[in-house]
Amino acid sequence: MFNQPLSDASLIGCPHCDLLQRMPEVAPGESARCTRCDEELCRHHADSLQRTLALTIAAAILFVVANSVPMLGLTVVGREAFTTVFGGAEHLWSHGWQIVGALVLLTAVVAPGLQIGFMLMILIGARRDRAPRWVGTLLRHYPTVSTWSMIEVMILGVLVALIKIAEYAKVVPGVSLFVLGALVFLIAGIQSAFDPREVWNKVEWANTAEQQPVGERQITGARS
């Protein structure tokens, strides 16, 4: 059963304290914060979707590169060993540590891949004036995917491992490590440039009977 939308679309409830308030018109570069708990309610970025799309395409390319070349290696008394991101998870899996291997695979490969893939599809879908429903479905699950995407944490872990190993072997940072380093900044850029409200305003409603005109707020009949 669908809820009934309000006639005044500028009324919102703060997600962190539930305070009922009116969203002001936010100029590009400005943000609105909850008057009670200081949660950032929205931030308006100029040209948000275009910029995010550019960053996401770059991130997708780097993600493919990062996962296809070696990440780190070592040489000791004439012997060499290299591993990729995937290789780390695979090693755990094949040596009887399936649970931890799956967690590493999820947080270092699957979730970042889904995060970039979801964002790419959301942005491509939202290029039309009225975005199809599946864009909303992807956007709904995007926060979950990004919570479990931990490339920046993995980089720190890899660096600590590198320094530990450097005590008894010569370590060789692979190309992938530098690519992943750049990817961390791109993902941070995506997170800060992306304005989900802009996409939500375009998405076709689940309850099609209630679809409101695109880009037009109904201020008449406002009542709190």
Q: Rule CB under 8 A: which of 54-113 touch other proteins? A: 71-74, 76-77, 79, 81, 83, 87-89, 91-92, 95, 97, 99-101, 103-104, 107-108
Return the HEC string of 113-165. Answer: HHHHHHHHHHHHHCCCCCECHHHHHHHHHHHHHHHCCCHHHHHHHHHHHHHHH
Task: Provide the 3-class DSSP secondary structure of residue 95.
Answer: coil
- How far is residue 165's CA from residue 152's CA, in Å, rounded to a whole number? 20
Q: Which is nearer to other proteins, 57 or 74 (CB)?
A: 74
Task: Provide the 3-class DSSP secondary structure of residue 173.
Answer: strand
Q: Which is nearer to other proteins, 63 or 174 (CB)?
A: 174
Which one of the spans 49-57, 60-68, 148-156, 214-222 is the region binding other proteins (CB under 8 A)? 148-156
Which residue has 């406002």 as its token pair? 222
Which one of the spans 46-54, 131-139, 183-191, 214-222 is the region binding other proteins (CB under 8 A)? 131-139
Q: What mask of x and - would describe binding to other proteins in positions 17 to 56, judged by CB under 8 A?
A: xxxxxx------------xxxxx-----------------
Helix axes 175-193, 151-165, angle to 10 degrees: 150
Min dist CB 137 to other proteins, Å, is 8
Instruction: Report the first-to-last Cα separation within the chain, whole angstroms.
Output: 23
Min dist CB 217 to other proteins, Å, is 13
Q: Are 153 and 124 in contact (CB under 8 A)?
A: no
Using CB under 8 A as the binding criterion, the count of chain residues that bind other proteins stands at 74
- How far is residue 193's CA from residue 49's CA, in Å, rounded to a whole number? 8
Residue 4 lies near other proteins (rule: CB under 8 A): yes
Q: Which of 61, 69, 120, 137 contacts other proteins by CB under 8 A?
A: 137
Q: Which of 31, 50, 68, 147 contacts other proteins by CB under 8 A?
A: 147
Q: Which is nearer to other proteins, 58 or 201 (CB)?
A: 201
Q: Collect all residues with Cβ–Cβ distance below 8 Å to 143 and sequence separation of at least 6.
A: none
| Type of residue numbered 18 | D
Min dist CB 113 to other proteins, Å, is 17
- How far is residue 119's CA from residue 121's CA, in Å, rounded to a whole number? 5
Q: Which residues from 188-207 bind other proteins, rule CB under 8 A?
A: 196-197, 200, 203, 205-207
Structure tokens at 141: 């699950």
